[in-house]
Structure 1
Amino acid sequence: MLPWELNILLVSVILLLKKIYASELTFELPDNAKECFHDNLKIDSHFTLEFQVITGGNYDVDLELQSPTGKILYRETKKQYDQIDKTTEEAGVYQFCFSNEFSTFTHKTIYIDWKVDGDPEHEITRPGPRVAESALTMIEKSVEKIHENLEKSIDDQTHHRLREATGRARAEDLNQRVQDWSLGQFLLIIFVAIGTVLLLRSFFSDRKTSNMTWNR
């Protein structure tokens, strides 16, 4: 294989890798708890934060996003799902915190997807050796298109799994409530039946006692 072909192959492999720094995480947030995450970003870095409450209570959570100087960039309460896209105006440690402090007895399961683009520390740079511009451009376009389609496919599959998990959790919760209600109805019927039998027996016992008194 020729040297320029090796370079083209290397570029293709690198372009197939993610050009952005991304982290996906699913974690449990206990009741009356708060969980914070941090990331050190450069100026003019574009980041995307996507989150969704999968299970727990009313499927809602509080979220607050702060800049390195403490400026509130985003603050919402009792959100089930949202996506935040912003570009940094200052360098430093950015912090976003999920809070379940408003809940007294239900914990939440939360999915987050954190992506950063435009930060040199989070990007993969191109190799130094130059290759044929026309061939490189054609390969770049093709591989970039494949990469975008793969990214879209991965995102679609992730959202499909999240919807499936949320639907399954809701169905299991509804099933448990129906079972509890059915058990309560069953116990109530048994209690009413026993009470009715005891009440009827008391009527006949009183009548029998009255007859014995009159006979005397």
Structure 2
Amino acid sequence: MNPGLSMVLKKQWIVFFLVLILHQLTQAVELTFELADNARECFFEDIQKNTSVVLEFQVVTGGKYGVDVSIEAPTKEVIYRQVKSQFDSHQFVTLMSGTYIVCFSNEFSTYSHKVVYMDFQVGDEPQLPGIQDHVTVMTQMESSTQEVHKSLNSIIDYQTHHRLREAQGRKRAEDLNERVMWWSSIEFVVVLLASTLQVYIVKNFFASRTNDRSYAPLR
């Protein structure tokens, strides 16, 4: 193999593994949790002033796929609120330092629990090591690394949303299958009872005619 080509391939693999490692080090709160009926779950985060914050949520399964969502500032001021919402995304910049509260409420539901996905990102994503120290134009390798980094972020976002849609579709299909099974079972029982009742009525009808002929008076 050409030594120059081999060196280029090695550099590409180094860049690829570097980007993967950086993705593992990226800090973000992303979780899926169960929200019981008549329940309220809150999450607390200490955030500095002038920090960009992004909240994204989606109800994966449960009831009519709706929850109440709110974000409170350290002064208890509600800066964001949604009522019986299935999914949404909200971005804002903090005006003060302190503890911000994100709450999910299912208090309006009396029998159905929900499974909720939440992605809470605080601050901008850190740049790749050494990029911010540049005083000159980035090299082609560094530019490629940045592009790969952005592409991997997009891939992760797409994968997350497709997994949520797949889980939601699977749950709906399972619920539909269960309803069809119960409806079919009820129809089977009704048809069986109707058939048994018809046989019983016809049998009694012929038995009654036979008895009438047996006890008919002789002339």
After TM superposition, is the score higher than 0.5? yes
Counterpart residue number, 2:84: 78
Partner residue in 1 for 2:201: 199
Q: Take 2:92 and 2:133, find their aligned partners in 1: how far apart are those partners?
A: 35
Counterparts of 1:29-44 in structure 2, within 5 Å, are 29-44=35-50
- Please identify runs of 4+ aligned residues in structure 1 that moved more than 6 A: 124-127
* CA-to-aligned-CA distance 1:72-114 (integer Å, 9 cap, x gap): 1111111111001111111111111111112121111111111
Aligned-partner SS, 1:133: coil
Q: Does residue 68 of structure 2 align to residue 62 of structure 1?
A: yes
The whole-number CA distance in structure 2 between the counterparts of 1:114 and 1:132 is 30
Q: TM-score, normalised by structure 1?
A: 0.81
Structure 1 equivalent of residue 93 of structure 2: 87
How far apart are the structure 2 equivalents of 1:110 and 1:71?
Answer: 24
> Quick check: 2:37–2:106 contact (8 Å CA) kept in 1?
yes
Which runs of 5 or more residues in structure 1 are unaligned? 1-8
C-alpha separation in 1, matches of 2:134 and 2:60: 49
Q: Which residue of 1 aligns with 2:7?
A: none
Identity %: 41
Residues 70 and 81, structure 2, Cα contact 8 Å, conserved in 1:
yes
Comparing 75-84 and 197-206, the one that deviates more:
197-206
Count the aligned residue pairs. 200
Check conservation: 1:15, 1:144, Cα contact below 8 A: no
Could you tell me which runs of 5 or more consecutive residues in structure 2 were left unpaired when the two chains were aligned: 1-13
Partner of 1:4: none
Distance verdict in 2 for CA 1:86–1:52, change over 3 Å: same
Kindly provide the amino acid, as one letter, of the partner of residue 116 in structure 1: V
CA contact (8 A) 1:49 1:84 kept: yes
Amino acid at match of 1:69: T
Structure of higher RCO (CA pairs closer than 8 Å, 6+ residues apart): 1
1:21 is displaced (CA, Å) by 3.3
Tell me, yes or no, if the aligned pair for 2:19 and 2:149 is still in contact at 8 Å: no
Match of 1:104 among 106, 110, 122: 110
